[in-house]
């Protein structure tokens, strides 16, 4: 998520468990997720009518039970459910706040497909991680809609195991009347009449899945490091914003030099219409790093800093994801903020980069207490503590180990945890291995210490 918004699974299981009401185990969102299964794939069939904001959906989850289950739960809210089938057979289900419970009788290691058919009007929802009044999730606007769900709102438009510890691949089959089009994550594999199909064959977070409906023009640019780029531009978007999309290949080069190969098969940006501002204040001036297809609100004007910020999240956040939101958001948002400083360095030199760091450090140390980005409460996930505190940690790491080892650390972190999850412990382990010394004191000072750590020189 862009800075403009700032203001394991595993444990010993009983022989037969029910719906795992305790959630997946993340203190930031204690009720989200289910530890009793892993959802490997979602197939979403959605029909959206912009004249009524109504959705008709058929969503199939393909997964495997990790324990013997009499009942499982999915995160899901709203809508009227018409039917639920397990492996092709109708099953009993019940609903509670934010949950869909399904009778299963699954054995440990047993694969399953769970199909849920439902309809209704999805609504914007308040996340505990976002400022009061700043709702998100499924956002209808005049003539269309967009799903913007970080960190915990994917279940407001499709039933899922809504936590980064259970990443999955996605297929989308979307239908909407002309002149609208439909867009989703991954490659477009078919476009016929009013039907659109997209496929994402690399696993990602549920909250980074998106579907976009509205009047958009596809803009294909030159490939970047071998990655095809297709963006989608709404009517009324300024020419200046459209022109900035041409910068994406350059920004891809800056990041692949640091992080290694781009982790997905395609990339592009969605420049959202001004009509969105009348429906959602948050996304109007923000951007969101939905996988392979970041969303840019109309007031962002696709600014260069925001373009590279969201692109960097494809590695840090979408390819390698948090284990627990409050403990790991520092390296997700922190590196994205740091990528903005790398852009300054690339375009204006080292002195300009150092000025950015000095300004951020001055801002951080002016606070009553050090930012301590390594363990954040839910309400501070997208705050100065994660963005600036995390970015300063990366700068300090670079200064401490030098450019060569710093780049090695970044690349090895991404490569080792590709399409999985990671934590601060992994940063410490990889940094210590490459630097050939214990880096725990460094990370303890920058992530958890009470005093302002001095900037290394």
pLDDT at residue 197 greater than cutoff 80: yes
Q: Using one digit for the tens of pLDDT, what is the confidence trace for 258-288? A: 999 999 999 999 999 999 999 999 999 999 9
Mean pLDDT of 203-214: 98
Q: What are phi and psi of 211, to 5 degrees?
A: -135, 135
Residue 387 exposure: Cα atoms within 13 Å on the Cβ side: 18
pLDDT at 12: 30
Choose among 24, 111, 104, 13: nearest CA to 65.
111
pLDDT at 386: 98
Mean pLDDT of 37-52: 97
CA quadruple 331, 332, 333, 336: dihedral, nearest 10: 100
CA distance 388 to 110: 44
21 pLDDT band, cuts 50/70/90, is low
β-strand partners of 17: 69
Mean pLDDT of 141-154: 97
Class of 3-7+15-312 per CATH? mainly beta
- Lowest average pLDDT, out of 15-29, 63-77, 152-166, goes to 15-29
Q: Using one digit for the tens of pLDDT, what is the confidence trace for 240-256? A: 999 999 999 999 999 99
Residue 415: alpha-carbon gap to chain centroid: 19
- Mean model confidence pLDDT for the chain: 94
Q: How many CB atoms lie within 10 A of CB 366?
A: 8
Classify strands 321-322 and 421-422 as parallel, antiparallel or unpaired: parallel
pLDDT at 16: 40
pLDDT at residue 416 greater than cutoff 50: yes
Return the domain boundaries, the chain: 3-7+15-312, 321-448
Helices (H) and strands (E) in the chain, counts: 10, 23
The CA-CA-CA angle for residues 277, 135, 340, to 5°, reads: 70
Full-model pTM:
0.95
- Domain 321-448, CATH homologous superfamily name and number: Neutral Protease Domain 2 (1.10.390.10)
pLDDT at residue 33 greater than cutoff 70: yes
Burial of 450 (0-12, 13-18, 19+ CB in 10 A): exposed
CA distance 176 to 316: 33
pLDDT at residue 164 greater than cutoff 60: yes
């Amino acid at each position: 998520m862009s800075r403009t918004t700032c203001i394991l699974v595993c444990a010993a299981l009983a022989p037969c468990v029910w719906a795992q009401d305790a959630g997946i185990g993340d203190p930031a969102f204690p009720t989200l997720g289910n530890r009793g299964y892993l959802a490997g794939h979602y197939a979403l069939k959605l029909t959206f009518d912009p004249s009524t904001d109504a959705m008709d959906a058929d969503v199939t989850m393909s997964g495997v039970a990790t324990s013997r289950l009499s009942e499982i739960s999915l995160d899901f809210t709203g809508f009227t459910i018409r039917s639920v089938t397990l492996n092709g057979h109708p099953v009993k289900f019940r609903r509670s706040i934010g949950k869909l419970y399904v009778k299963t009788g699954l054995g440990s290691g047993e694969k399953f497909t769970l199909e849920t058919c439902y309809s209704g009007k999805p609504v914007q929802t308040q996340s505990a991680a976002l400022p009061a009044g700043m709702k998100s999730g499924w956002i209808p606007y005049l003539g269309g809609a967009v799903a913007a769900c970080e960190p915990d709102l994917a279940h407001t438009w499709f039933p899922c195991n809504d936590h980064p510890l259970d990443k999955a691949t996605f297929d989308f089959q979307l239908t909407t009347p002309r002149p609208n089009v439909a867009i989703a994550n991954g490659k477009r594999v078919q476009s016929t009449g009013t039907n659109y199909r997209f496929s994402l064959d690399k696993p990602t977070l549920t909250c980074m899945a998106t579907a976009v409906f509205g009047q958009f023009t596809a803009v294909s640019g030159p490939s970047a490091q071998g990655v095809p780029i297709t963006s989608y531009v709404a009517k009324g978007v300024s020419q200046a914003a459209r022109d900035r999309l041409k910068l994406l290949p350059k920004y891809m080069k800056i990041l692949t030099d640091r992080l290694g190969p781009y982790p997905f098969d395609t990339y592009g940006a969605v420049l959202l219409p001004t009509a969105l501002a009348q429906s959602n204040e948050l996304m109007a001036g923000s951007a969101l790093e939905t996988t392979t297809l970041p969303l840019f609100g109309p007031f962002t004007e696709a600014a260069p800093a925001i373009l590279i910020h969201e692109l960097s999240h494809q590695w840090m956040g979408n390819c390698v994801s948090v284990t627990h939101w409050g403990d790991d958001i520092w390296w997700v948002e922190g590196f994205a903020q740091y990528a903005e400083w790398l852009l300054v360095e690339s375009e204006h030199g080292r002195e300009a980069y150092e000025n950015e760091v000095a300004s951020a450090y001055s801002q951080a140390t002016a606070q009553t207490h050090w930012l301590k980005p390594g363990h954040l409460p839910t309400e501070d996930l997208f705050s100065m503590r994660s963005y600036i505190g995390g970015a300063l940690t990366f700068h300090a790491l670079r200064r401490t180990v030098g450019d060569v080892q710093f780049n090695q650390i970044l690349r090895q972190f991404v490569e080792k945890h590709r399409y999985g999850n990671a934590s601060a412990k992994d940063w410490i382990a990889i940094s210590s291995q490459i630097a050939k010394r214990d880096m725990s004191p460094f990370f303890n000072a920058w992530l958890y210490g009470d005093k302002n750590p001095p900037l290394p020189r």
